Every structure is written in structure tokens, then in C-alpha cells.
Structure 1
């Protein structure tokens, strides 16, 4: 509900300004591929992807682009308490054999918000090091 509420508020503000804009939602690679033990999480991130695609179609006429970034395993505070063996197993299933750094996720968002992505809307950019779950 939070993603929908924020998208509605922000898109109304952007529409009133009449200058267009960019909305970038944060999904997850799990919302695309699923993952055992993460039923609710993957369902909610899949919903973020569906919201992104529909909003892109609804808002394109107002020159508002809507995209999503789908991070894979990322080095965050939450990861510090994860079981080391479990984490090692997850990293071994990533083609680049490492976690993403938060800055790498931010750079993907920066790209989508930039003029370099002026013709990109309704897309999901996976930033996951080629994760195969």
C-alpha cells in the first residue's frame, strides 16, 4: 500500500507541475525469480513490479516515466547478522561471486532518473550480478 500511496501522491504533484518527471520504485530480484522461504516478500516485490509497469502506461501521456530497480543480495546492515554459511551459499549462486554495494544500486537509480534514460519507462532494471536463484 505504501508504494501505491506514494506513487499516487507524487504523480499528482508532477501532473500539476506539468513538467513530467521520473518515479523509481525499488523492487527485488526475488520479485522476478522468487526464492524459497520468501513467499510474502517475493509477492510484495512482484506487486511493485506490476505497479511500475501499469503506472508507466498510465502516466506516459503526462511525460512521467516510471521504472523499478530490482537489487539482488546487497551489503547492508541487515546482512551483518545473517548466518555465514547461508550467505556464502547465496553468494556462490551469483555469477559475479559477490554482493552488490549500496552505491551500485544508487547508481542504477541515478541512471534511470537521468536524461540518458529519457526513453525508458515501464522497465525493471535488475542490479544483481547475474543472480540465479
Structure 2
């Protein structure tokens, strides 16, 4: 059940990265978060995947307002695309990345609990 959820979250992230109207650094955040979700689906890589998802969520929150600050001055207009709705799409994308990363973290935690319960049941069954 949790693995299916991780697959759905990862597919949404890849879909947003490939087909979303998000400016430059946001698709990269989606791809990194998708890699974290894929790793979090497997017990051996769950810790790495969770760390990757948490890092992407934190970075996304930190980056969400940067274009609004940089586009309000003439000095930093080369850093981000400041035309049209680019700052708005940037913020929308970073909020989506943070939300999907958080969902991946919750699913990873649920998988970890389910694995622990399964192992405990196996140990108790061997003891009887």
C-alpha cells in the first residue's frame, strides 16, 4: 500500500518536472524529490530517501520567495526569469515540491512502521 503511494507521488513529481510550466531550478527539485521517493519505497534505502525528501522540502520552502526578492531589484535579474508570471510559477512549483516531499515522508514513515510490525510478528511467530 505504501509503496503504491510512493510510486504515485514519484510519478506526480516527474510529471510536474517534465510537463509543468515552472522556471529553471524548480524542475530539478522535482527530479531530486522523485529520486528520494523512489529510494524511500525500499527498506534498504529508506533512510537515504527520507533524508533526500526532507532536504528537498526544506530547500523548496527556502527558495519559494527568492524570485520575488530578486525580481524587485534591477541588480539580480539574471538569477531568475523575471518576466510574466515566472515568480508566481516559481513559488507555486516550490510549494508543490514541498507538499509532495512531505507526502513522501509520511508514506516512508508509514512503510517503516509496517515493516517493523511485520518483523515483530515474524519474531513472535518463531518464538511460539
Is the pair's TM-score, using the shorter chain for normalization, greater than 0.5? no
- Higher-Rg structure is 2
Q: What is the TM-score of this pair, normalised by structure 2?
A: 0.35
Higher helix share: 2
